[in-house]
Structure 1
Amino acid sequence: MSQQIYISGEYFSRDDAKISVYDHGLLYGDGVFEGMRIYSGKVFRLHDHMVRLWESALAISLPIPMSIDEMTATVNECVAKNGLDDGYIRLIITRGTGTLGLNPYTCSDPQVIIIADKVALYPAEMYEQGLELVTASTIRNHPAALSPRIKSLNYLNNIMAQMEALKAGCVEAVMLNTKGEVAECTGDNLFIVRRGKLYTPPIDAGILEGITRAVVLELAEAAGIETHETPLTRHDIFIADECFLTGSAAEVIAAVKLDDRVIGTGKPGPITNQLNKAFRELVSS
């Protein structure tokens, strides 16, 4: 079955899926998106993703040209049309075609793009052994400039930090906020385990409200693991017993080094493995 990409009411093959070069999503990163996982033919936490998409669009005054129910049905239709049992959905809303100027009010046709495909963010061995992190010198956007809670098309902040990670031989970097506290990684939320308790930066640390992050907090509480959303520094990661990352594409993956310093035993820890197992059981059900 050939891949079918949805663009504003029509389906196109990958080679024929195109938007205008005057679309402000392309010209200025003016738009929002969601990345969602497909498990057993169903989109995981689809309603939660829809709510976050609508909130991101509301925050930048971007009208979405359909209702949440209509969008939900269209996403499910796209998954079925592509015959995906397990995979990934990228849902994009652009501001639409306008002029070469910044004025968003010249745009009148927001584009809805849905891409259903396979995804493998990290090699399989990294899920078994854990990955290494570096601290990026590129800090997370100040919430008063562009809130990280908006999942916008402008990911240059994250990309610059990702480049630092890749140049250091890593696949992920820890990004600090303007206070020097840990915010998140370039595409994932971050957790640590210390003396049997789970810690993660709070929303006001300048992070995206991750859907998988919320799921892991739910799973931890259900398992009787004490959880804390509290400011963290690099010191907290250095002395942690365990560290792991979460994200829709990444799922749950251990981190075993930061800046060449071993975290805990240098292997995925028992609570990381417990939560990862619980997550796998949840998505497979």
Structure 2
Amino acid sequence: MKIWLDGKLVDETEAKLSVFDHGTLYGDGIFEGIRFYNGRVFRLEDHIVRLFDSARYLLLDIPYAFDEIIRATCETVAASGLSDGYIRLVVTRGVGNLGLSPFNCKNASVYIIADKIALYDPSVYENGLALITSSVRRNRPDMVCPQVKSLNYLNNILAKMEAVRMGVAEALMLNEAGNVAECTGDNIFIVKNGTVFTPPVTDGALDGITRRVVLEICNELGIPAEERTMNRYTVTCADECFLTGTAAECVPVTKMDGYVIGSGKIGPVTARLLARFKELTATTGTPVA
């Protein structure tokens, strides 16, 4: 496997970072997860815009221009030999010393991986996913801004561990007010009386790229859609529920905390949205070649 590391493609065994990199020492860095289908990178520009926005918030200087990151991403996909897969693009603060200050790190490091990924068993996409509500809360906006895709994912990992220990694959995360934020790596949507709802980013939800695509699809198909603050009651009383994320794509949810959501099967609105999403991923995107 070839990895793009700081300006060139290298073998996986040669893709190494220093133990003094602040990404390793302190989780000081950012990332994007991106999908490619049929030799096209889906919503690549949107992802790179978000990457640079995250870097700006963290005062992290990416040592490559926007177009250079686009080109490097496509080069990495081409070198993988895959027509469908997942990209992990990471920017770390770079090598510094054992002190906390990031200003001792002179140059950020960038690496890009293109490989296969499967978050959930394929049967989940046909039969639906079960959730639990995690006791671990989403980061407050006045702590680490939830809009930044930073390398600090420890609270999400703890919530994921809690879900797995409870025998399910995913967990719902609430914010400090007890309202719904998102899941450990996915945005959440519900359908009630024909209208699609999702929590606003101000409630701790990431401004997910797939989330944006689903809202665009709703507009295209004439399905009413709103951002609205939700709690566990809202979710358990929903007619339908599904999750969205780049790695997960669109995943129907049929149970939460032992409650059956709606009919316990994939609902008609969810099915329409998933079908259109698959059409878009199969036919649009930035060509790799």
Write the mapping of 1:91-102 to structure 2, written as runs, cut at 5 A: 91-102=89-100
Q: What is the aligned counterpart of 1:229 among 227, 232, 244? A: 227
Within the candidate set 108, 111, 130, 1:110 is matched to 108
d(CA) in 2 for partners of 1:120 and 1:13? Answer: 23
Q: How many angstroms does 1:10 deviate by?
A: 2.3
- Report the equivalent of 2:145: 147
**Count of residues paired in the alignment:** 283
Distance 1:70 1:175 in 2: 36
- Measured in 2, the distance between the counterparts of 1:5 and 1:183 equals 34
Structure 1 contact 192–199 (Cα < 8 Å) conserved: yes
Give secondary structure in 2 for the equivalent of 1:183.
Answer: strand
Q: Deviations over 1:58-107 (max 9, x none)?
A: 00000000110111011111111111200000000000000011010010
In the TM superposition, structure 1's runs of 4+ consecutive aligned residues that sit over 2 Å from their partners are none
Of all paired residues, the percent bearing the same amino acid is 53
**Aligned to 1:36, which of 9, 30, 34?**
34
Q: Which residue identity is paired with 1:69? A: D
Equivalent-residue separation in structure 1 for 2:76 and 2:235 (angstroms) = 40
Mapping 1:208-223, distance limit 5 Å: 208-223=206-221
CA distance in 2, matches of 1:263, 1:14: 44
* 2:105 matches 1:124: no
Correspondence 1:45 to 2:43: yes
TM-score normalized by structure 2? 0.97
Q: Over residues 236-279 of structure 1, what are the superposed CA-to-partner deviations in whole Å (9 max), with x where a residue is unaligned?
A: 01100000000000000101111010000111111111100000
2:197 corresponding residue in structure 1? 199
Give 5+ residue unaligned stretches, structure 1: none
Letter of the structure 2 residue corresponding to residue 68 of structure 1: F
Partners of 1:59 and 1:143 lie apart in 2 by 13
Contact 1:38/1:84 (<8 A) preserved: no
AA aligned to 2:220 is: A
* Correspondence for 1:183: 181
CA-CA distance at 1:55 after TM superposition: 0.4
Q: CA RMSD in A?
A: 0.6
- Matched to 1:93, the amino acid is V
Q: Distance in 2 between matches of 1:177 and 1:150?
A: 16
**Superposition TM-score, scaled by structure 1 size:** 0.98
AA aligned to 1:184 is E
CA contact (8 A) 1:135 1:173 kept: yes
Cα offset, 1:12, TM superposition: 2.0
For residues 8 and 67 of structure 2, the distance between their equivalents in structure 1, rounded to whole angstroms, comes to 18
CA apart distance, 1:181: 0.3
